[in-house]
Chains A and B, each alone.
Chain A
């Protein structure tokens, strides 16, 4: 019996956002990365082709973190002390984008030097995060933004309490912004409205709905992503933005990933478990419509890349 698969035709679609500028585009990247453009729910290729596949960003820090899992230290080794080396190794590990996370210990000069060194070490597009403290974020991100004018870096992280300065400097220097809200569709849309209202084109905003790790609230994360995506497809312009999520950050703080000793034997091998945790969280989020997943372990990158290839192969 022939079965007809019902197809939805949506009035809306996701904006295409391009990160990084090549020399022809006024920057120094060897290539730029575009995300978004979907006109259907994730991977329903028979409804609408997916113009851009999800991509993987690898997170590195401006200085060697002292609170990262020994498993990550083992994977990245000596390079962690030198952001340029670390970025290069992340590039080789298969990153599409490098996230440079600045720290509270950085001075504005340090921040500019680190970001410039990473730009020299790799041709990949960059995302730069402040340390997550309002004053310090603004103190570091503004000079970084000015020193990298035209590179189309994503600056973050904009939140409702602190977005104006970051958006203003991104607008003035041809960059993009990452807009984060705490797992709430209303707040997510509200921040997008506020940022657009400053004059930032929607093609230069990534929304970060925040997620939780597997076992730590991922359900809330993906429900919000699903609702945002449905609203976008129904035509709500203020939700038609590609989504970036941070499963690396979320999973490497869970007990299952962080702790190798004093846990039940049934939990199995620590390293296998930790990588599985990051991989499974990331793939679930990719399947929920994430356009960019930010990861930490090179083995997870390899596996998530494989999963993405399978999902986008028609």
Chain B
């Protein structure tokens, strides 16, 4: 699993404060720790920075690159900010995060990526919104995102499609469709585009105590359909266990078996079955309930584990 570390994100109060204070040590530490924890790239989201992009982006890139050699993911809607960052990068091939199928962005962002030799993450989203159906999202990739790369004569290895994870709390019907989108996208083109998702979006607006479980179970399902890249928290040890168990087909303990079983079921187009779980084990019972809300079989509620 290629994890793009998500932790340098302006939504975090600590990041916000550190940025305001231009605290180099904070960002150096957070970047190094993510890479040490297994992140293969580091995402940087500091917001739109409409006023100070020309100063902030070079500063943060220079800061982070003094300690890590991995690709940096420039996560902003501000195209001028993207370019300011790209001009500063000296180490690995960066990632532009992101474009959508919005004509204006699709015009500018991939062109910028090509100019600076960056990869580009492209969202299966049109200006009018995100389609629910898997087919409609694949269609956006095949009819708009991929053709734009070809138009620019920009190799498919530089395209990363993000089919957009939405939260189970409020957008529950999207959750199974995203799984099918990831499955189908790998066959949508030859060579296949890379696929990445923002995993923790699946548990947005979910009470904090349930978020890691929902993220892990969804991850097992997505690994079942072949997911190999995601923007996620590399410090989540339980998540990293699930990745290792599924990647190495490790079934040496009961939880490892259960997560592998979920991935196997989804891989073959089946649904997890209650007999796959030892319901007398509260942890396995909770995982089973989580599969049911993520597959939209049972209506989500914040206290779904009590159901």
Smallest distance from the beta carbon of B290 to chain A beta carbons, Å? Answer: 15
Choose one: B170, B297, B301; the contact of A189 (CB below 8 Å): B301
Is A193 within 8 A of B306, CB to CB? yes
List the A side residues contacting B303 at CB < 8 Å.
190, 193-194, 197
Where chain B touches its partner, the secondary structure class is loop
Q: How far is the CB of A153 from chain B (nearest CB, A)?
A: 27
Q: Closest residue to A187 on the B side, CB-wise? A: B301
From A193, A227, A234, contact of B301 by CB (8 A): A193
Seen from chain B, the residues whose Cβ lies within 8 Å of a Cβ on chain A are 169-170, 172, 297-304, 306-307
Asked if A239 is an interface residue, CB under 8 A from chain B, the answer is yes
| B306 and A185 contact, CB distance less than 8 A | no
Give chain A nearest CB distance to B293 CB in angstroms.
Answer: 10
A237's nearest neighbour on chain B, judged by CB, is B307
Find out whether the CB atom of B297 lies under 8 angstroms from the CB atom of A238.
no
Enumerate chain B residues within 8 angstroms of A189, measured Cβ to Cβ: 299-301, 304, 307
A236 contacts B307, C-beta separation under 8 Å: yes
B-chain residues with CB within 8 Å of residue A227 when the two chains form the complex? 299
User: What separation, in Å, do the CA atoms of A187 and B302 have in the docked complex?
Assistant: 8
Chain B residue nearest to A231 in the complex (CB) = B299
Residue A313 at the B interface, CB < 8 A?
A: no
Closest chain A residue to B169, Cβ basis: A186
Pairwise interchain contact B306-A186, C-beta atoms closer than 8 A? no
7 contacting pairs across A/B (C-beta < 8 A): A186-B170, A186-B172, A186-B301, A189-B301, A197-B306, A231-B299, A236-B299
Q: How far is the CB of A253 from chain B (nearest CB, A)?
A: 28
Known: A185-B299, A231-B299. A238 touches B170 (CB 8 A): no
Chain A residues in 8 Å Cβ range of B298 = 231, 234, 236
- Bound-state CA distance A234–B295 (Å) is 14
8 cross-chain pairs, A with B, having the tightest CB-CB distances, nearest first? A190-B301, A189-B301, A193-B303, A231-B299, A189-B299, A238-B307, A190-B302, A185-B299
Which chain A residues border B172 with CB–CB below 8 Å?
Answer: 186
A 217-250 contacts with B by CB, 8 A = 227-228, 231, 234, 236-239
> Nearest Cβ in chain A — how far from B279, in angstroms?
15
Q: Assuming A186-B169, A186-B170, is B299 touching A193 (CB within 8 A)?
A: no
Q: Residues of A contacting B306 with CB < 8 Å?
A: 193, 197
Contact B307 A193 (CB under 8 A): yes
- Give the docked Cα–Cα distance between A237 and B306 (Å): 11
